[in-house]
């Protein structure tokens, strides 16, 4: 257990804002500690106390890490592989140990998160939280308007109809598809169902995260503001009224 510190020091170190701005946030009632609105000058222990800013839990534990990886084709989204194929975990630092957030199948490329934060991982992967994932699907042929409409309205698969998606043609044979479910090989199966099998599939966005500068196999740590944006995105979808 660490020694209690002033909140403005803890939150500034976590990258939320400068100490002066954090003090203003505390005065405005935007900071909550263990369910109670914080006061200026209050101390807290980041290893014990739950600290929230604008309703989002702040990840201030020093051992929590987040990596954004541009996964190449041929790499599997697991910590180990019995077939001896390269894994995403081998592309990032060995310590601390991290795990992929969800999966991309071996031949799918693009953005993948790895972390040791189990709570946020659950929220990012559970369909009830509705975190969007965007893909560029290079397909055989060029889908007609009716085929795109099926993607938008929901496609009947062997495990049930898909939720409505966003689908648009980017160029001939290339579809931008945004989904918020996480079924196995879902985008590939959706495109197969409309008669346009996938030739190449690239994930280009996870919730608010986009990075066109990462080359295949490259990774970088997330900034604190990006982690907070992910946490804000991973809120439960309200039930229909």
First to last CA, the chain: 45
* Continuous segment of H or E residues that includes residue 153: helix 145-153
Rounded (10°) CA dihedral 205, 67, 129, 188: 50
Residue with tokens 């939320």: 16
> pLDDT, tens digit, for every residue of 151-210?
999 999 999 999 999 999 999 999 999 999 888 899 999 999 999 999 999 999 999 999
Give CA–CA dist 48/46, Å, rounded.
6
Name every residue whose Cβ is closer than 8 Å to that of residue 231 and which is 6 or more positions away in sequence. 56, 57, 59, 120, 123
pLDDT at 19: 86
216-234: average pLDDT: 87
Give CA–CA dist 216/97, Å, rounded.
21
Question: What does pLDDT average to over the chain?
Answer: 88
pLDDT at 76: 95
pLDDT at 230: 87
Q: Which of 28, 47, 105, 159 is catalytic?
A: 105
CB atoms within 10 A of CB 95: 7
In this model, does residue 120 exceed pLDDT 90? no
In this model, does residue 122 exceed pLDDT 80? no
- Give the pLDDT band of residue 129 (cuts 50, 70, 90): confident
pLDDT over 70, % of the chain: 92
Give CA–CA dist 89/227, Å, rounded.
20
What pTM did the predictor assign? 0.75
Strand partners, 156: 161
Q: Is 225 a catalytic residue?
A: no
pLDDT at 59: 59
> pLDDT, tens digit, for every residue of 19-33?
898 999 999 999 998
């Amino acid at each position: 257990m660490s020694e209690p510190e002033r909140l403005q020091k803890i939150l500034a170190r976590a990258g939320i804002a400068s100490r002066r701005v954090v003090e203003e946030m505390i005065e405005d009632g935007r900071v909550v500690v263990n369910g109670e609105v914080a006061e200026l000058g209050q101390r807290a222990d980041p290893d014990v106390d739950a600290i929230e800013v604008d309703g989002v839990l702040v990840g201030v534990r020093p051992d929590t890490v987040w990596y954004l990886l541009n996964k190449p084709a041929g790499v599997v989204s697991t910590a180990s592989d019995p077939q001896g194929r390269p894994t995403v975990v081998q592309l990032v630092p060995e310590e601390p140990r991290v795990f992929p957030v969800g999966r991309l199948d071996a031949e799918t490329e693009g953005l993948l998160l790895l972390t040791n934060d189990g709570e946020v991982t659950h929220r990012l992967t559970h369909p009830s939280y509705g975190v969007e994932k965007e893909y560029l699907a290079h397909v055989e042929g060029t889908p007609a308007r009716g085929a795109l409409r099926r993607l938008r309205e929901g496609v009947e698969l062997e495990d049930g109809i898909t939720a409505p998606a966003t689908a648009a043609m980017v160029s001939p044979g290339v579809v931008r598809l945004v989904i918020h479910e996480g079924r196995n090989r879902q985008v590939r199966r959706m495109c197969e169902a409309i008669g346009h099998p996938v030739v190449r599939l690239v994930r280009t966005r996870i919730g608010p995260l986009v990075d066109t500068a990462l080359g295949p196999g490259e990774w970088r740590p997330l900034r604190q503001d990006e982690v907070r944006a992910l946490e804000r995105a991973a809120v439960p979808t309200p039930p229909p009224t």
